[in-house]
Structure 1
Amino acid sequence: MRITQGTFSFLPDLTDEEIGLQIDYALRQGWACSVEFTDDPHPRNTYWEMWGLPMFDLRDQAGVMQEVRACRTTYPNHYIKVNAFDSTRTFETMRMSFIVNRPAEEPGFRLMRTEGKGRSQHYSVTGYASNQPAGERYGAKG
């Protein structure tokens, strides 16, 4: 199962050149980039771990790509994404976010159904990866 979160998530993985072009676009818009990673990509897990600090003053995609590569080296079996944040007054929100690294195998999620009072059905989603301890969810540690 392929995790589909963020911009471009239904497309094939972007190459580093394509990632650089998207970062260039974000920087031209005046958006600040940041890099985040996780081994728990549950759809409601919106707070991934930050890789370093947001790059508010950076205006060159090479610097962002350097951080992406460093994060990939440290966490090769994690999901890694680039965020583009617009700090313009009245917006101050994420304008673009896309995955730039994913584990070789993505086990997906299971749908849990329980019956409640009055025969009502309750559903929840659990990631198969969460059966393993954090840091060991996708093969080799890291």
Structure 2
Amino acid sequence: MTMRFETFSFLPPLSPTQIEAQAAYLLKQGLIAAIEHAENPSHADIYWRQWPIVPAKINSATNQPEPLSASHLLNQLEACARRHPYAFIRLCGYCPKSRLVQMCFVARTPQEGQ
């Protein structure tokens, strides 16, 4: 049985290029990116843990993190997938004004045969 979650669950799995395009759209819209993972989600009891998105670079002059890029988000998704190979991993975009999830989709599913 295939688990169905979020926006793109009835489409074939997204390629890394398509995931990067969705991440670029998320950032272009001004949404706050979040990567979440769950080992055993179900429709009755869904608890997703957040993956910490570490900044790619820290500006030495201001000591502030550089803005996120789509490729950096894709790298963070891959790091989460390596750390949690049996987990569903999703990319979410939170709107800071409405404080609601504006965009969310499962980017990685558990490895086959695991």
Q: State the TM-score, normalizing by the size of structure 2.
A: 0.81
What amino acid is the match of 1:60? S
Q: What number of residue pairs does the alignment pair up? A: 104
Corresponding residue for residue 83 of structure 1: 92
Unaligned runs of 5+ in 2: 56-65
Q: CA deviation at 1:54?
A: 8.7
The question of 1:98 aligning with 2:72 is answered: no
Separation in 1, partners of 2:7, 2:90: 10
Flag the structure with higher strand content.
Answer: 1
- Deviation per CA, 1:50-88: give whole Å up to 9, x if none: 111598x74311121111010011111211111111111
Q: Percent identity?
A: 26
Q: Is the contact made by 2:32 and 2:95 (CA closer than 8 Å) also made in structure 1?
A: yes
Separation in 2, partners of 1:53, 1:46: 21
SS in 1 for 2:52: strand
Once the two structures are superposed, the pairs formed by residues 1-142 of structure 1 within 5 Å of their partners are 1-53=1-53, 58-88=67-97, 91-105=98-112, 139=114
- Deviation per CA, 1:19-47: give whole Å up to 9, x if none: 00001111110001111111121113343
Larger relative contact order, structure 1 or 2 (CA cutoff 8 Å, min sep 6): 2
**Could you say what the CA RMSD is over the residues aligned between the two structures, in angstroms?**
2.0
Unaligned runs of 5+ in 1: 106-137
1:72 and 1:104, CA in 2 relative to 1: closer, same or farther beyond 3 A? closer
Q: Is the contact made by 1:34 and 1:54 (CA closer than 8 Å) also made in structure 2?
A: no
1:92 and 1:15, CA in 2 relative to 1: closer, same or farther beyond 3 A? same
Separation in 2, partners of 1:58, 1:45: 34
Separation in 1, partners of 2:73, 2:88: 16
- Deviation per CA, 1:64-123: give whole Å up to 9, x if none: 1111010011111211111111111xx110011111111245xxxxxxxxxxxxxxxxxx
Q: State the TM-score, normalizing by the size of structure 1.
A: 0.66
